[in-house]
């Protein structure tokens, strides 16, 4: 009698607590968050949020703790659109794009390439996409200015929020989770396949969107496989949360959103050029 009652009792308890059925369990990476009181430039003490992924601080700069990805010399740029692709930029105009608020974008087309101008803000596709294959070609300014995050910074955002960093990472050291090909603050590229400043480079991105339950919990994380100039730099990476800035060593967690969102290009104050942008929609 006792054993016959035991199993229903356990099932009842599980139903009450809601585990392990209520939401997907993700064990890696181990995410830790804490707050440090720091004095800012104005001499005020403020609370700054810190985060680590598997024991490594977000935006860690110490190479002993976050090694610089090995440098790889890429092969030729590939990537003309296949017959079933939706061409997002054809080298002629900004049709199909807008500013973030839906107003006409200020970005310009120069020599067949799309470029931000001062204070133009991001540019986004009017059409929205979920899971997709995306090809983007980009070039950082031929004349090198600035260093670290200030040199040729832009970014490609899937669903308007998951950033694959664009940066002139050719002979330019920064925190690995913020260099070219990083999922910003979440995952450094496997290798550094960056071309020289001014040279055209490509990203081929295979993205599967995250899925949320009715309570807003992520039940399926976003995944990214990315080739940079034909070289694998993210290998079916399961994104552990959002990539948007939260504080200098912290990024935002997942926040529930719809099934589709825009593809967005960042204006980070550097005249990074874009060309040959196309997308193919994928099943989730
Ligand atoms: Mg960026």
Rounded to 5 degrees, φ, ψ at 16 are -65, -45
Residue 11's pLDDT is: 46
> Cα–Cα distance between 269 and 117 in angstroms, integer?
8
Residue 27's pLDDT is: 84
Residue 85's pLDDT is: 97
- 182 CA to middle of ligand 1, Å? 10
- 164 CA to middle of ligand 1, Å? 7
Residue 25's pLDDT is: 80
> Cα–Cα distance between 187 and 58 in angstroms, integer?
9
Residue 79's pLDDT is: 83
- 196 CA to middle of ligand 1, Å? 18
Residue 185's pLDDT is: 97
SS3 30: coil
**pLDDT tens digits for 205-245?**
999 999 999 999 999 999 999 999 999 999 999 999 999 99
- 167 CA to middle of ligand 1, Å? 7
Rounded to 5 degrees, φ, ψ at 8 are -60, -35
Residue 76's pLDDT is: 76
Which residues of the chain fall below pLDDT 50?
A: 1-3, 10-22
Q: Kindly state the DSSP code that residue 141 receives in the 8-state scheme.
A: -
Q: What is the DSSP string of 45-94?
A: EEEEEEEEETTEETT---TTTSPPPPB--------PPPTT-EEEE-SS--
- 78 CA to middle of ligand 1, Å? 23
Number of helices (H) and strands (E), helices first, in the chain?
Answer: 1, 20
CB atoms within 10 A of CB 161: 17
Answer for the pair 264, 279: CB distance below 8 angstroms, yes or no.
Answer: no
Q: Taking the alpha carbons of 194, 254, 209, 27 in that order, is the dihedral positive or negative?
A: positive
- 280 CA to middle of ligand 1, Å? 23
- 180 CA to middle of ligand 1, Å? 9
Residue 98's pLDDT is: 98
Residue 77's pLDDT is: 65
Q: What is the CATH number of domain 82-281?
A: 2.60.120.560
- 189 CA to middle of ligand 1, Å? 14
């Amino acid at each position: 009698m006792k054993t016959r009652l035991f199993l229903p009792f356990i099932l009842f308890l599980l139903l009450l607590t809601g585990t392990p059925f209520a939401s997907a369990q993700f064990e890696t990476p181990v995410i830790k968050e804490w707050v440090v009181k720091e004095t800012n430039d104005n001499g005020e003490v403020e609370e700054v949020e810190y985060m680590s992924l598997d024991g490594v601080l977000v935006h860690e700069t110490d190479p002993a703790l976050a090694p610089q990805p090995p440098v790889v010399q890429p092969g030729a740029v590939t990537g003309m659109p296949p017959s079933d692709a939706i061409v997002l930029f054809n080298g002629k105009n900004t049709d199909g794009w807008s500013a973030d608020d839906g107003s006409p974008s200020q970005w310009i087309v120069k020599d067949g390439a799309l470029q931000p101008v001062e204070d133009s803000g991001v540019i986004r596709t009017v059409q929205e996409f979920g899971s997709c294959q995306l090809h983007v070609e980009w070039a950082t300014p031929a004349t090198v200015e600035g260093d670290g995050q200030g040199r040729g910074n832009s970014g490609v955002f899937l669903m308007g929020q998951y950033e694959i960093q664009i940066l002139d990472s050719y002979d330019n050291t920064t925190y690995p989770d913020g260099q070219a090909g990083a999922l910003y603050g979440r995952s450094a590229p496997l290798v550094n396949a960056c071309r020289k400043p001014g040279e055209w480079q490509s990203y081929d991105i295979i993205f599967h969107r995250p899925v949320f339950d009715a309570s807003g919990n992520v039940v399926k994380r976003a995944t990214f496989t990315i080739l940079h100039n034909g070289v694998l730099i993210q290998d079916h990476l399961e994104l552990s949360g959002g990539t948007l800035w939260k504080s200098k060593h912290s990024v935002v967690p997942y926040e529930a959103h719809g099934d589709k969102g825009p593809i967005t290009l960042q204006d980070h104050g550097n005249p990074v050029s874009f060309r040959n942008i196309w997308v193919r929609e994928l099943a989730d």
